[in-house]
Structure 1
Amino acid sequence: MPAELIKIYPENPDERRIRQVVECLKDGGLVIYPTDTVYGLGCDIFNTRAVEKIARIKGIKPQKNDFSFICYDLSHIADYARVGNVAFKMMKRVLPGPYTFILNANNSVPKLLNTNKKTVGIRIPDHNIPREIVKALGNPIVTTSIKDDDEVIEYSTDPELIFEKFQHQVDIVIDGGYGGNIGSTIIKADGDDFEIVREGLGDTSVFL
């Protein structure tokens, strides 16, 4: 059954549409949604079969993934990661925003996502749609970027074209307008030290 393409406006996300997406996630569905950087593909972090489906789409093993979590706010983070005081203050300063923080995972991270890794990526995007989905769901969602096969354009930005490509692989594609084509800045926070893993949309000067 092909996916459904639904329109949600970022400025004022429709509660009924958000509930529709949340019910899909609870049922083990896969959803493509906009963020403050690029479009992402995600599922409920606690649904093992959904995580495995995403891994198959990406052509990777779940245990060797580079998935991150989208959280609603900083209060979610301590549930899944250990954060030092300096790192927490920095995250409070720059989030919500176009950053992924790589943190030491705790025992609450689902085993499928934490078999070979002791870290987890945390995202709090500056975008109402994914944050409202997570808030209504009650726990984070797995997120991974939608990449394009085109050699020139790394990330797909047009939700209708994304729908055409993934409509038989996912359950819902959210049209939240054109996405960006620059990924998040990835920062590894180990204790009180910061390492810039990848420069993306987020300003790195605050970490230097």
Structure 2
Amino acid sequence: MFTKVWRVDPLRPESLALEEAGELLRRGELVAFPTETVYGLGAAATQDEALRRVFAVKGRPARKPLTLHLADPEEVFRYVKEVPSTARRLISSFWPGPLTLILPAASGLPPSLTAGGETVGIRVPDHAVAQELIRMAGLPLAAPSANLSGRPAPTKAAHVLAELGGKIAGVLDGGPTPLGIESTVVEVRGEELVVRRVGALLPEEIEERTGIKPLVAPAEGEGRWWLKAPLVLVEGEVPEQVVARVLAEASRQDRVGRRVGVLTREERVGLYQPFTALACGRVEDGPRSVAAAFYAALRDIEERVEIIVAEAVVAEVGKVVLLRLREMAAERYEAGRS
């Protein structure tokens, strides 16, 4: 299959490209597109056959439901049985934005969308290309991340093409995604909120804006990530201790003949010579800059080395990236502890 690529302005996307992509989606084809979080693999959410193709192309387990993407918040009422007052507060505070809400599903939704369950995940992306594509298609889109299941999420069109090129009909290339990390998934249970996945929107931000303190469910755990090189995580509170432990671990791996890569901040790249060191964000720009660069940096460094040693000064990387690194790590060390 030929995969067409349309290069579009992320702020003012050209209508012709969106019209062509929308027509492909109406015909049941798969089209990848940028959101503010990561690139999504779009399929017509009303066509079960198209949804099944998403699972096949990604190698996604059938037990995992898909997320419904809408162009406008008010459309949510068409696809759910009810919108509790707690959900309405979240919608008014965070949509459009990096928040997926799990709500009771309306009857008649395709079984592949909900994985046979009674709930549906819905979000309204805060990205002009995504919103206009949904409008041009004239139907809601199911859109998990546009990558093979278990791989780091794609934040550039090139990441999509590297794994799904030749398997899908098209990719709307709107450049790098601004946030670079997945949406936060929140299940609404009446007055209770349960965070199923911590993403670009932190639980603390939800509490601050809504006055509701969400419960945070345990992460999915080890084994869900597939990296081309194993990752060793060194985390700690004190930068000097983390750097010393990273250097010790990189040297140990080098002595046994492995090509070592270090994932660090831009300000510290020079400290890790002669190893391959790659910057993932800047200390002075805060944790959001680390999150925005995280998946792209991982995809870059894993192609060049045999083992990755990732440094994580807790205050610098932030909660989301630290969680992802812990999930990915084949080995994990705390700097400053023997």
TM over 0.5: yes
Counterpart for residue 57 of structure 2:
57
Distance 1:37 1:89 in 2: 21
- How many residue pairs match? The answer is 205
Of Structure 1 and Structure 2, the greater helix share is in 2
Distance 2:167 2:147 in 1: 14
Deviation track 1:43-92 (CA, whole Å, cap 9, x = no partner) reads 10122221111111232454x23210100111110111121122112211
5 Å-filtered alignment, 1:79-118, equals 79-81=78-80, 82-114=82-114, 116-118=116-118
RMSD: 1.9
SS in 2 for 1:65: coil
Superposition misfits of 4+ residues, deviation over 4 angstroms: 148-151
SS in 1 for 2:17: helix
The alpha-carbon deviation at position 130 of structure 1 amounts to 1.1
Distance 2:49 2:146 in 1: 19
Q: Which moved more, 1:141-150 or 1:53-62?
A: 141-150
SS in 1 for 2:91: helix
Q: Does 1:167 align with 2:184?
A: no
8 Å Cα contact 2:147-2:164 kept in structure 1: no
SS in 2 for 1:54: helix
Counterpart for residue 155 of structure 1:
153
Find the structure with the greater CA-based Rg.
2
Gaps of 5+ in 2: 208-212, 214-338
Q: Does 1:184 align with 2:203?
A: no
**Sequence identity (%):** 27
Counterpart for residue 202 of structure 1:
201
8 Å Cα contact 1:104-1:190 kept in structure 2: no
Distance 1:37 1:191 in 2: 27
Q: Is the alpha carbon distance of 1:148 and 1:135 closer, same or farther for their aligned partners in structure 2, counting shifts above 3 Å?
A: same
Counterpart for residue 68 of structure 2:
69
Query: What TM-score does the superposition give when structure 2 sets the normalisation length?
Result: 0.57
The alpha-carbon deviation at position 150 of structure 1 amounts to 8.8
The one-letter code of the counterpart of 2:174 is G
8 Å Cα contact 2:148-2:163 kept in structure 1: no
Q: Is the alpha carbon distance of 1:189 and 1:150 closer, same or farther for their aligned partners in structure 2, counting shifts above 3 Å?
A: closer
Distance 1:122 1:31 in 2: 19
- RCO higher in structure (CA 8 A, sep ≥6): 1
